[in-house]
Structure 1
Amino acid sequence: MAKPITGDDPKTLVSTAWLAAHLDDPDLRVIDASYYLPGAGRDAKAEYAAAHIPGARHFDIDEISDARSDLPHMVAPAEKFMSRMRAMGIGDGHQVVVYDAVGIFSAARVWWNFRLMGKTDVAVLDGGFPKWQAEGHPVEDMPPILRDRHMTVQRQAHLVKDVTQVAAASKLGDWQILDARSPGRFRGDEPEVRPGLRAGHIPGSINVHYATLLNPDGTMKEADALKAAFEAAGADISRRTITTCGSGVTAAILMLALARLGNEDVSLYDGSWSEWGRFDQLQVATG
Structure 2
Amino acid sequence: MHFQRWQKLKAKMVDGIIYVSSNPATSEKLLENITVPVVFMDRKIKKRENMGSVLIDNFSAMKDVAAYIAGKGCRQPAYITADISISPSKERYEGFVEGLEENGISFNKRMHYAGTFSVETGQIGAMTLLQRNPEIDCIVCGNDLMAIGAVSVCEKLGKKIPEDIKIMELLTGKYKKGQPYPEGSRATHQADKQINNLLTDENLAIVDELSKVADDLGTNVAILSLAWILKHPEISCVIAGASKPSQLENNLKAVDLEIPDDAMERIEKILGFQRFERHVG
| TM-score, length basis structure 2 | 0.29
| TM-score, length basis structure 1 | 0.29
Q: Identify which of structures 1 and 2 has the higher relative contact order when contacts are C-alpha pairs closer than 8 Å and 6+ apart.
A: 1
Give the structure with the higher percent helix: 2
